[in-house]
Amino acid sequence: MDSHSGHSSPPFPAPRMASLRKLYCPVGQEALDQAIVLWLPGPRSFTGEDTVELHCHGSRAVVQGVTEALLALDKGGEARVRLAEPGEFTERAFANGRMDLTEVEGLADLIAADTAAQRKQALKQMGGALRQTYEGWREELKVCLAHTEAVIDFGDDELDVDEAAYDAIRPRVRRLSEEMRRHLADGGRGEVIRAGIRVAIVGPPNAGKSTMLNTLARRPAAIVSPAAGTTRDVVEVQLDVGGLPVLVSDTAGIREAARDPVEQEGIRRAREAAGRAQLTVLVLDAAEVLGQEAFASLAGVGPFSKDAPPEDLETVLRALRRAGAGKGGTSTAAYLVSLSTGEGVEEMLAGLQARLEEVFDKDGTDDERAEAPVITRARHRVHVERCLEALTASMGEQGLGLDVAAEELRIASTELGRITGAVDVEEVLDVIFRDFCIGK
């Protein structure tokens, strides 16, 4: 594509050096674009294979022309170029040892990142933070297993040999077990970053819950109507609040007097959403809050009681603030706002962000977490838990035979290998790579 009729072809680009070249169609020699060309010989490329990158202008005509020209290349009537399948470049990188599965998942998370927290976590994982942790543990297990199997294969017949060898590896296995317990005791922080902190907006019908959602989203995400019961299902919106990913749910109004089956189902789903949420926002109409019905119908959803209603709104706010600890030990905060005029909204949003940061950071300090990678997927957690179970079993009853201990150590090593893709991962590859776009 670098040749043109009547002109000699320019020299091939030097490896890993950007070259400005004109691109021509191999059929008819039509000029297509002036582009940056990169020649990346393997194995020092993304996929580990010889790679050519054409950095073209982005118009549809240019992209279509260059793509059609590439597809027209053939040798003896056989096509030499085809479009990549979704995730094929990343799959080749994994197959050629350029990435492990945790790094592949980190790349997928980086592509899908919507917030700064998601971007930072994905970059750390794509850079090998999880791989280094799991491979380090696996190497330590290999040493323990090799020591154990050496005694099994070459030890003498003395009765105390097994016990002495077993005692020698116990401290190492115990240390690994403690590290894994700390790794698992992260409160699901990594998974929360990926999926978002769940926030449920609850309250009686027509209290302004949908308007609250639209205020948070800064767009009409939910239908707003003066008619009670407009929201029948749970409406979810993904937001970026101070760099934190937040999944806000607008729920159906909760009232005990509901008779319509559809409304009753909406109320059931509202209670379910509130139960799943890490944070609940209770919206009450100031004009109605002096009555007892709102408190009685919402019993069990938020951190408040069915006691006799207070006499004035300030008493309501004080009562809500004193309502005790919410989920995770966080205290209840109350704000008086007007969603129609915007009065008090900024203070409420600042308070919400502070509470989200409190929920997000409840399991340790930022400095502690910055050093240690966190679990980001359920499959990681499952395999680490199984590994820990095997390690615990290997240090079981006194007098446990070395052959049994060796088998448990082998199981533990295999479970860690399944996280990184070192062993037995064929069944998860399709699930991981199908989420990638064509370009990756």
Mean pLDDT of 235-250: 86
Q: What is the DSSP letter of 231?
A: -
Parallel, antiparallel, or unpaired for β 244-250 and 197-202? parallel
Q: What number is the average pLDDT over the span 255-282?
A: 74
**Residue listed under structure tokens 């027209």:** 72
| DSSP at 404 | H
With tokens 């201990």, the residue in question is 405
Query: Do you find a cis peptide bond into 171, omega within 30 degrees of 0?
Result: no
* pLDDT confidence bin for 325, thresholds 50/70/90: very low
**Statement: residue 315 has pLDDT above 60:** no
Sign of CA pseudo-dihedral 400, 401, 407, 412 = positive
pLDDT band at 79 (very low <50, low <70, confident <90, very high): confident
Angle at 344 between CA 341 and CA 350, to 5 degrees: 130
Residue 320 has pLDDT above 60, yes or no: no
Q: What DSSP state is assigned to residue 334?
A: -
Q: Does residue 24 sit in helix, strand or coil?
A: strand
In tens, the pLDDT along 220-237 reads 554 444 444 555 567 788
Quick one: pLDDT at residue 40? 95
- Report field, pTM of the whole predicted structure over 0.85: no
Q: Do the beta carbons of residue 173 and residue 273 sit within 8 Å?
A: no
What secondary structure letter does DSSP report for 216? H
pLDDT at 313 over 50: no
Contact status, residue 52 vs residue 37, Cβ threshold 8 Å: yes
| In the chain, % of residues over pLDDT 70 | 70
Sheet with 244-250, strands from edge to edge, namely: 235-241, 244-250, 197-202, 279-282
Neighbouring C-beta atoms of residue 226, cutoff 10 Å: 6
| Least confident among 84-98, 124-138, 297-311, 349-363 | 297-311
Q: What is the rounded distance in angstroms from the CA atom of residue 99 to the CA atom of residue 106?
A: 10
Query: Band of the pLDDT at 305, cuts 50, 70, 90?
Result: very low
All structural domains of the chain, each given as residue ranges with its CATH number in brackets, are 17-83 (3.30.1360.120), 104-187+370-435 (1.20.120.430), 192-361 (3.40.50)
The stretch 61-66 carries a mean pLDDT of 96
Which among 369, 367, 372, 337 has a CA at the least distance from the CA of 352?
Answer: 337
> Do residues 200 and 277 lie in contact, with contact meaning Cβ atoms separated by under 8 Å?
yes
The answer on pLDDT for 381 being more than 90 is: yes
Residue with tokens 């944070």: 279
pLDDT at 301: 40
- Mean pLDDT across the stretch 368-379? 79
What is the tens place of the pLDDT at every residue in 177-202? 999 999 999 888 899 889 888 888 88
The closest alpha carbon to 188, from 338, 385, 321, 15, belongs to: 385
* Location of structure tokens 């590994």: 387
- Weakest-pLDDT range from 193-197, 258-262, 377-381, 400-404: 258-262
Q: pLDDT band at 143, cuts 50/70/90?
A: confident
**Lowest-confidence segment of 172-181, 340-349, 368-377 by average pLDDT:** 368-377
Residue 217 and residue 229 in contact, taking contact as beta carbons nearer than 8 Å: no
At 284, the pLDDT band (50, 70, 90 cuts) reads confident
Residue 427 confidence class, pLDDT cut points 50, 70, 90: low
Range name among 10-24, 276-290, 359-373, 402-416 with the lowest pLDDT average:
359-373
